[in-house]
Structure 1
Amino acid sequence: MEGERRIKKLQTLKTIAETLNQCNDLEEMLKSVLKELLNITGLKTGWVFLIDDKGDFHLATDEGLPPGLTWSQKKPMCEGGCWCVDKYNNGRLTRAANIMECKRIENAVEYNWGDTEEITHHATVPLRAGEEKFGLLNVASPNKTHFTDEELAVLEAVAFQIGTAIKRIRLVENEQQLVLVAERNRLARDLHDSVNQLLFSLMLTVRGTKEMTDNPDVLEMLTYIQDLSQEALQEMRALIWQLRPQGLEDGIASAILSYGKVLGLDVEVDVKGVIDLPSKVEEALWRIGQEALNNCKKHANTKTASIELSIKNNRVTMIIQDQGCGFHYDEQKQLPSLGLASMKERVELLNGTFSLTSAIGNGTTIVVSIPF
């Protein structure tokens, strides 16, 4: 019987290892592995906290949480501190450990958030790969107040595999991002070297041709072609900037100012505090600012705009304003353009908020707030 149990454990550990090696979606991987781990250990409840370099955590996945911990859309698991996270952040949690009590469970009992199903304690294991730390794996069961050395050893083995898989997935994501940037740069170079140069040559040709004729009809047509070429050249330069923004390496404010000049806009940028942002957040803010300035150029009937960037409580807020013609906007209806909808989607993908206010004759204001 004991031999069969060990064989089942080994088979399940093999399944976990295969899942970790094959999966490239972090959320899907954590969910699948947690479910398999609870199966192998016979435990009922588990959850994973991913913790960033600043010590901020978020609930990455969970399985079998009691009602007391799922109250108000799992608020007890997503807010507040606890002993395991504190020990992790203080560097005192380096291997699998028995936690005598669970503060989140205690809060659920104290504030009557719901049934805790007789869960009072949990084991906690840091997720790591070498010296890198990624978060915590916690498991529990009703009336279980202690974990054996064998159980902790299994948890450590799985946690190490999870940590290694997290590192692999993040390396893959970074590599994909580098490939995407390289492709954007290639497209920008190609457009600059081909289409951009052809448009510039067309403008010079038209200008020279106008000096060779006095026919008013021909001159009118050539002027029209010249104006179209100038507009197309400006659009092409803006497109090249969208693909490879010059100045982004000097910060989001510098890139936005430079892009405003490309569009012929007078943009005032006010930066409050030192802003050092993750690349994903900076990329999102850049794309949103870019789209907002495009809208200002095309629709607002003004050449001025202002952008304010500020940081408070690990959130970056960007306010984009113009005093242009504005438009009628009903908050109860869908956003009136694909560009505005795209801005909102970018923000929400990063768990941020997006708001827009506009009225005819009173300009437009966009407020974006993103946690990091």
Structure 2
Amino acid sequence: MAKSGKELLIQKEIAVTLNQCVDMYEMLEVSLKKLLELMELQTGWIFLTNEANSYKLAAYQNLPPVLSDNNFNRLTCSNGCYDCACLQLYWEGYLHKAVNSIKCVRLEEAMIENAGDTRNLKFHASIPLTIRGRKLGLLNLASLEKKRFEQKELLLLESIAYQIGTAVERIRLYEEQKKQEVDSIARYLVDYYKDMDRLNRQLGKASTRQELYKVLMEELSSHFECWPKIALLIEENNELLLRATTHGKETKVLNEKSFSSIPSIIHKTYDEKRILQNHQQPLYYSSLKTWEKCYSIALPLETNEKKRRALGVLLLSRETETFSDLEIEMLEVLAGLLSMAIEKTYLQEEWEALLVEKERNRLARDLHDAVNQKLFALSLTARGLQKVTTNSNDMVSEAISDIQKLSQETLSEMRSLIWQLRPQELEREIGTSIQEYGSKLGLQLDIHGPVNLKLPDKKEQALWRIAQEALNNIKKHAKTNEGNVHITKTSSFVEMKITDNGCGGASENQHSIGMKSMKERAKEINAKLTIESISGNGTSITVTVPIQNGEDKE
């Protein structure tokens, strides 16, 4: 009774091992060891085979030394599959069930060759591991004391062999599934990085932000169809602006689009600079289509500096499932590429501005060294002629006087032009610079504003150019030589208002170069430009520049 209980316990342990283990060789080793204990045998080994008539030693217990010598050379498939009677019978289809005693060719050859210790073993029992006609392997058991197995023992061995075969097939299917998963992930990674490389090259070709947003959305909608809903939000002047969207194949690139109800996931990602996910949350953007409940992920876009600065947020949405860890790692790469591309466009814009300023300085220098000097010489020549021809014909004297007057006016305008091209005055306070420029134009200005107005160079330069154009308009068109300049600075904006009491009648819809220039300069710094001009009541030009808290000279 005690022996029967022990046998049942061992059989249970074998069954548990076969059902739970996912490592092929561990499962076979443990099962073989327990089976030898159950059957009170000394030696055993298992071959695993395939349909190609090859085999390999998969597990063994207490082999005779002659079989384990030389790295198990005698148990290795080296010259085809017909070096062993048990395997030959198995492949030829004669071994369908447990065979009590098969003479082992390997052990017999070792005895003839006196190759080593065989422990006097000559025979072994062989039990096929065959499931639904599929040949999976062969179980061999031997013991010097055990000459024959009883029928019930053979039946037990066949039962356990069937369980082992089933476990082998299960683990093979599991390994094949894992291999397919690995292959699938590998294909996904290869395709993803291929798409990332193409996207990176396309982003690198974009020279402006609008072009960049368009390229990004087109590439994502064409090659990353797993994210059918995409929104790109960019930080400008401490405000998130919706710059581009994709819904299926429909892509929109927006020039100016702010909205009041930004989903909280975007706000949190922007503020906390970390990736966040929403699970089946509805998305709605004002003035856009309503999006169904989606699985969304928001990726922060930021500079690659030590002190990271937020650039915006990329929002991806789909209706199927949350984003996996692998996808998130990939999306971090995408966010990094996009952030670098946005930084590149900023640097490109700054570089172009520097080139424009450099060209302005060159022109100013050339005008000063060439044209300005010649005008000055012409003025001196006219003055000398006037003295020499004092008693000459009145018409000649008058013509010489006109030449001198015209040359002096042209010289004055040339100096003003040079001054505009090369604004050294911005090294001083902008109000003082505006006052000096007005004096050069012959204007009397009443200026009010902070003594020390600190702004980034780009914004201060734009304000200065707008002020120049406004003063030029007073000089040329207002029929007055008086004006007022009010500059106000708060924590969120700087406002400059230039007014005159002239004839008015200007319109901000005029297509003059001056009006167009002021609008373009205001747009470059995301400023708001307002022109009010009623005929007979003067003109008022107001420019409002948004700033960030504590914004100072760059």
Q: What TM-score do you get using the length of structure 1 for normalisation?
A: 0.82
Instruction: Find out whether 1:256 has 2:434 as its counterpart.
Output: yes
- How far 1:313 sits from its partner (Å)? 6.2
Instruction: Find out whether 1:221 has 2:399 as its counterpart.
Output: yes
- How far 1:126 sits from its partner (Å)? 3.5
- How far 1:319 sits from its partner (Å)? 1.4
CA contact (8 A) 2:206 2:215 kept: no
Aligned alpha-carbon RMSD (Å) = 3.3
Partner Cα separation in structure 1 for residue 213 and residue 541 of structure 2:
36
**SS at 1:188's partner residue?**
helix
The 3 A distance-change label for structure 1 pair 100 and 253 is farther
Partner Cα separation in structure 1 for residue 385 and residue 451 of structure 2:
54
Q: Residue type matched to 1:184 in 2?
A: R
- Residue 43 of structure 1: which of 212, 220, 227 is its match? 227
Partner Cα separation in structure 1 for residue 436 and residue 324 of structure 2:
62
- Residue 300 of structure 1: which of 474, 478, 493 is its match? 478
The within-5 A match list for 1:137-148 is: 137-142=314-319, 144=321, 146-148=322-324
The within-5 A match list for 1:75-154 is: 76=259, 82-89=264-271, 92-94=272-274, 96-99=275-278, 105=283, 108=284, 115-119=290-294, 121-131=296-306, 132-133=308-309, 134-142=311-319, 144=321, 146-154=322-330
The 3 A distance-change label for structure 1 pair 16 and 220 is same
Give 1:243's aligned residue. 421
More moved, 348-357 vs 234-243: 348-357
Q: Residue type matched to 1:180 in 2?
A: V
Give 1:18's aligned residue. 201
Instruction: Find out whether 1:27 has 2:204 as its counterpart.
Output: no
**SS at 2:424's partner residue?**
coil
Partner Cα separation in structure 2 for residue 179 and residue 229 of structure 1:
32
**SS at 1:136's partner residue?**
strand
Partner Cα separation in structure 2 for residue 93 and residue 330 of structure 1:
45
The 3 A distance-change label for structure 1 pair 75 and 345 is closer
The 3 A distance-change label for structure 1 pair 358 and 49 is closer
Q: How many equivalent pairs are there?
A: 355
Flag structure 2 segments of 5+ consecutive residues without an equivalent: 1-182, 548-554
- How far 1:274 sits from its partner (Å)? 6.2
Deviation string 1:187-222 (CA, Å, 9 cap, x unpaired) is 111111111111112212221222212223322111
- How far 1:28 sits from its partner (Å)? 2.0
The within-5 A match list for 1:317-332 is: 317-324=495-502, 326-328=503-505
Partner Cα separation in structure 1 for residue 460 and residue 538 of structure 2:
26
Instruction: Find out whether 1:362 has 2:541 as its counterpart.
Output: no
CA contact (8 A) 1:273 1:311 kept: no
- How far 1:130 sits from its partner (Å)? 4.2
**SS at 1:264's partner residue?**
coil
Structure with higher RCO (Cα < 8 A, 6+ apart): 1
Deviation string 1:301-355 (CA, Å, 9 cap, x unpaired) is 222211112234633322111122x144578xx4274322432343345444333
Partner Cα separation in structure 2 for residue 101 and residue 310 of structure 1:
47
Flag structure 1 segments of 5+ consecutive residues without an equivalent: none
Q: Point out the structure with max Rg over C-alpha.
A: 2
Q: What TM-score do you get using the length of structure 2 for normalisation?
A: 0.57
